[in-house]
Chains A and B, each alone.
Chain A
Amino acid sequence: MSAQNLDRIEVHVCMGTAGVASGGAEVMAAFEEEFKKHGLIGEVKERNCKVKATGCRGLCARDVLVDIHIPGQEEVTYEHVTPEIVPTIVEEHILKGEVVKKWAAKKDYYDFYKLQKRYVLADCGKVDPEDIDDYIAHGGYEAIKKVLKEMTPEEVIEEVKKSGLRGRGGGGFPTGLKWTFCRASKGDLKYLICNADEGDPGAFMDRSIIEGNPHVVIEGMLIAAYAIGCKEGYIYCRAEYPLAIKRVKKALKIAEERGFLGKNILGTDFEFHLHLKEGAGAFVCGEETALIASIEGERGMPRPRPPFPAVKGLWGKPSNVNNVETFANLPLIINNGADWYASIGTEKSKGTKIFALSGKVKSTGLIEVPMGVTVRQLVFDVGGGIPKKRKIKAVQLGGPSGGCLPESLLDTPIDYDSLIAAGAMMGSGGVVVMDETNCMVNVAKFFLTFTQRESCGKCIPCRIGTKTMLDILERICAGEGREGDIELLESLAMDIKTASLCGLGQTAPNPVLTTIKYFRHEYEAHIKDRKCPARECPELIEFVVDEDRCKKCGICFKVCPVGAISWEKGKPAYIDKSKCVKCRECIVNCPFNAID
């Protein structure tokens, strides 16, 4: 809690995407109404209460999350808050000082944060993203002041190099080095671009940073612009993120009004104009050359490199593209020094990394951990393990460019190089946990469907190759796999990886290759035995109740949407195949794995 608020009771309500979806606005209104009712608002009252909207604090699964700060007392978090319980919280906690234990976060909530080091996300969930003064009160824009007053551009680049920061968009290229190339390019006009396209299914850290603390991204961009020598910049944000766009727009406007953007920034002759560009829905635009084409108003097609954007980028001018999270790291490095930053993480991967933890794990949400923690720690210590007493099967890291790690590799430390060695990759930081009910062939098919659809079609290996691979995977999942399919997939994968023009094609086969490498037996079961061991591919399931395993509970009977299951108390269930539409509701909900 910041010093300026010490005399004030503050209620922080999560108004990130998940918070809003769970009813955050209604909860805020309920608090305001209660405060009015009890006369708690306003400076003149004995008690001065304020309701504040904040961004995502991570544990989206528990939204709406509400923190209550009372001066001199420990902060208390309430989870799953609804407008109905707000009057009780206000009366018991704020007026009488008694925490309402029933709704207060329990041990498992705090366990979620134990291993985390929230540096980049420190203010996400604390500052009001629509209030620049709140960001400034939390130390915002101090780093750019320091940079402009005390450092030359070369010194800034040197500091970033020394910190060891590597690009958080997934590739992991050293940030300071990338800047050097663009700085060294000739010409007055250079562009700085923030890649906030985040097309990766399963990742939402960029979205949460922008929604929760847009000014930290602007400040990071200012530092980079000064270091490289850019006067113009763009934030390229996905149009699918309406809340993020709204907050960036507002932040840009107010930052300009307050003299952090535009000409003569903070009274110096440093000049930087920043614009927002809305994407239009194309995964390939995450690739920097495609992103540049998209800003220019063209189809977002990548082009061969060299020339690299650092030499010839947006409108032919030298350009530098970095990811949202990379920019958000910069104020930290400047404020705390490169040595401090480099003391976090592993030898070759410095700092923290934000992950979007989702799938079959108890606590899903956004986490920030130092590089080097293991995948197992992420899933079990931070995420609280697998729900429904099921077993973990795999962890998918790095989105469509990444791979699936099996249980035996869960002790792999998370850093750029170890993940690549294991066959996965950091990607933008999506971590999707899968349990024994997820079919790995189906997962491979899922990713290929995505990359095949998102291929821009410019180069043949990617356009035709991914289509051919997808056809094979679809056949296998439909029970029509043939002898030799696995080998054919492997050979196609290697060709596509080698011959594709851009990162999309070069990495598209990864999910297939890692699932074959670690879960070959599942492919074989589909092809040779015509069975889906995870019981996910409908064509390969019998939809029969195993009477020995059936505990006669009737859950399947209740969830069947078409009334194909008959059941009487004390008797095993029965599935009428003529009525069954193979929706798998019974399989998903049966706690005893009794349906084959």
Chain B
Amino acid sequence: MAENIVEKKEQEEVKEELDLSAIDEICAEYKGRKGATIPVLQKVQEHYGYLSKEMVDRIAENLNMSPHTIYGVITFYAQFYTTPRGKYVIRVCRGTACHVKGSGRISEVVTEEFGIKNGETSSDLKFTLEEVSCIGACGMAPVIMINDKTYGNLTPEKAREIFREYAKKDD
């Protein structure tokens, strides 16, 4: 699916336009506080949508840490991303309850509709597919989240309808 993944070139362009000063403000807020790495990364990611090399360097400078240590943290946790993400992040729950009720098919429907696999973002930056361990709404399995909205008791067909609704939404 190479043509559907964001090309490296495009990412470079996105980076150039970014104003990184927000990072300094976020870091200042946590200055001197213990265990600041994760909350700082969370806030920076919340602001920019992902964590680029430039951002990590700037954070490292601010927190007086090595960029390698920060990368060690970023790559360890599931919730940090080093590439831009789609406007709509589709989280497909792959927890046990969802698994036994066929959530694997729901992921396949995303792939069928938008040509993206787990972890990938569509080339128009509209959708990202992310399989997650458990959303914690097992009573209504299979479940997905699109950004902060939860949809439960899905069938592949119901899911397809929801995805098409989002696809129709204007930017």
Residue ranges of A at the interface with B (Cβ–Cβ < 8 Å): 17-18, 20-22, 59-61, 63, 198-204, 207, 238-242, 277-278, 280-283, 294-301, 315, 356-360, 364-366, 396, 399, 430, 432, 434, 438, 443, 446-447, 450, 454, 456, 559, 561, 583-585, 588
Docked CA distance A63–B149 (Å): 16
Residues of chain A within 8 A of B42, CB atoms compared: 239, 278, 280
The stretch of B9-17, B21-29, B120-128, B135-143 in contact with A is B135-143
Docked CA distance A584–B103 (Å): 12
Contact A296 B96 (CB under 8 A): no
**Contact residue among A430, A450, A583 (Cβ-Cβ distance under 8 Å from B138):** A430
- B148's nearest neighbour on chain A, judged by CB, is A242
Docked CA distance A365–B72 (Å): 38
Asked if B20 lies at the interface with its beta carbon under 8 angstroms from chain A, I say no
Q: How far does the Cβ of B153 sit from chain A's closest Cβ, in whole Å?
A: 8
Which 4 pairs across A and B sit closest by C-beta, in order of nearness?
A: A60-B139, A281-B78, A201-B95, A358-B97
List 29 A-B pairs, Cβ < 8 Å. Answer: A17-B150, A20-B150, A21-B150, A60-B139, A199-B133, A201-B96, A201-B98, A201-B134, A204-B134, A239-B42, A240-B134, A278-B38, A278-B42, A280-B78, A294-B38, A297-B34, A297-B37, A298-B37, A298-B73, A358-B141, A364-B138, A364-B139, A366-B139, A438-B100, A446-B99, A454-B133, A456-B76, A583-B105, A584-B105
Residues of chain A within 8 A of B137, CB atoms compared: 17-18, 21, 60, 204
Q: How far does the Cβ of B79 sit from chain A's closest Cβ, in whole Å?
A: 4
Residues of chain A within 8 A of B141, CB atoms compared: 358-359, 364
Contact A280 B35 (CB under 8 A): no
Docked CA distance A267–B83 (Å): 51
Q: How far does the Cβ of B124 sit from chain A's closest Cβ, in whole Å?
A: 24
**Contact residue among A18, A199, A200, A315 (Cβ-Cβ distance under 8 Å from B140):** A18
Contact A280 B77 (CB under 8 A): yes
Q: How far does the Cβ of B83 sit from chain A's closest Cβ, in whole Å?
A: 16
Contact B140 A430 (CB under 8 A): no
Q: How far does the Cβ of B129 sit from chain A's closest Cβ, in whole Å?
A: 16
Contact B97 A364 (CB under 8 A): yes
Most buried by B among A240, A241, A583: A240
Q: How far does the Cβ of A352 sit from chain B's closest Cβ, in whole Å?
A: 19
Q: How far does the Cβ of A584 sit from chain B's closest Cβ, in whole Å?
A: 8
Q: How far does the Cβ of A575 sit from chain B's closest Cβ, in whole Å?
A: 17
Residues of chain A within 8 A of B39, CB atoms compared: 277-278
Most buried by A among B78, B79, B134: B134
Contact B96 A430 (CB under 8 A): yes
Residue-wise interface mask of B (55-90) relative to A, using a CB-CB cutoff of 8 A (1 in contact, 0 not): 000000000000000001100111110000000000
Docked CA distance A277–B139 (Å): 27
- B33's nearest neighbour on chain A, judged by CB, is A297
Residues of chain A within 8 A of B100, CB atoms compared: 359-360, 432, 434, 438, 443
Q: How far does the Cβ of B161 sit from chain A's closest Cβ, in whole Å?
A: 13
- The answer to whether residues A296 and B35 also contact, given A199-B134, A356-B139 and a CB cut-off of 8 A, is yes
Asked if B167 lies at the interface with its beta carbon under 8 angstroms from chain A, I say no
Tell me how many residues of B have a C-beta within 8 Å of chain A.
45
| Chain B, 101-123, CB within 8 A of any chain A CB | 101-102, 105, 108
Residues of chain A within 8 A of B156, CB atoms compared: 561, 583, 585
Contact B132 A202 (CB under 8 A): no
- B77's nearest neighbour on chain A, judged by CB, is A280
Q: How far does the Cβ of B35 sit from chain A's closest Cβ, in whole Å?
A: 4
- The answer to whether residues A202 and B35 also contact, given A17-B136, A359-B100, A360-B100 and a CB cut-off of 8 A, is no
Most buried by A among B34, B35, B150, B156: B35
Contact A359 B101 (CB under 8 A): yes
Docked CA distance A446–B133 (Å): 11
Contact B37 A240 (CB under 8 A): no
Q: How far does the Cβ of A297 sit from chain B's closest Cβ, in whole Å?
A: 4
Residue ranges of B at the interface with A (Cβ–Cβ < 8 Å): 34-39, 41-42, 72-73, 76-80, 94-102, 105, 108, 132-141, 143, 148-153, 156-157
- The answer to whether residues A202 and B96 also contact, given A17-B150, A18-B137, A280-B42 and a CB cut-off of 8 A, is yes
Q: How far does the Cβ of A239 sit from chain B's closest Cβ, in whole Å?
A: 6
Docked CA distance A20–B135 (Å): 14
Docked CA distance A547–B2 (Å): 43
Docked CA distance A321–B36 (Å): 20
Residues of chain B within 8 A of A239, CB atoms compared: 42, 79
Contact A282 B77 (CB under 8 A): yes
Q: How far does the Cβ of B143 sit from chain A's closest Cβ, in whole Å?
A: 8
- The answer to whether residues A359 and B96 also contact, given A198-B136, A239-B79, A585-B156 and a CB cut-off of 8 A, is yes
Residues of chain A within 8 A of B78, CB atoms compared: 280-282
Docked CA distance A22–B150 (Å): 8
**Contact residue among B34, B76, B95, B151 (Cβ-Cβ distance under 8 Å from A282):** B76
Q: How far does the Cβ of A477 sit from chain B's closest Cβ, in whole Å?
A: 12
Contact B134 A203 (CB under 8 A): yes
Q: How far does the Cβ of A65 sit from chain B's closest Cβ, in whole Å?
A: 11
Contact B136 A300 (CB under 8 A): no
- The answer to whether residues A60 and B76 also contact, given A242-B148, A297-B37, A364-B97 and a CB cut-off of 8 A, is no
Residues of chain A within 8 A of B97, CB atoms compared: 201-202, 356, 358-359, 364, 432
- A433's nearest neighbour on chain B, judged by CB, is B100
Q: How far does the Cβ of A193 sit from chain B's closest Cβ, in whole Å?
A: 12
Q: How far does the Cβ of B90 sit from chain A's closest Cβ, in whole Å?
A: 14
Residues of chain A within 8 A of B38, CB atoms compared: 277-278, 280, 294, 297
Q: How far does the Cβ of A410 sit from chain B's closest Cβ, in whole Å?
A: 17
Docked CA distance A301–B97 (Å): 27
- B76's nearest neighbour on chain A, judged by CB, is A299
- A559's nearest neighbour on chain B, judged by CB, is B157
Contact B138 A295 (CB under 8 A): no
- A199's nearest neighbour on chain B, judged by CB, is B133
Contact A300 B139 (CB under 8 A): no
**Contact residue among B80, B101, B105, B140 (Cβ-Cβ distance under 8 Å from A280):** B80
Contact B73 A241 (CB under 8 A): no
Contact B96 A240 (CB under 8 A): no
- The answer to whether residues A296 and B138 also contact, given A242-B148, A450-B133 and a CB cut-off of 8 A, is no
Contact A446 B96 (CB under 8 A): yes
Docked CA distance A203–B100 (Å): 14
Docked CA distance A59–B105 (Å): 25
Q: How far does the Cβ of A291 sit from chain B's closest Cβ, in whole Å?
A: 12
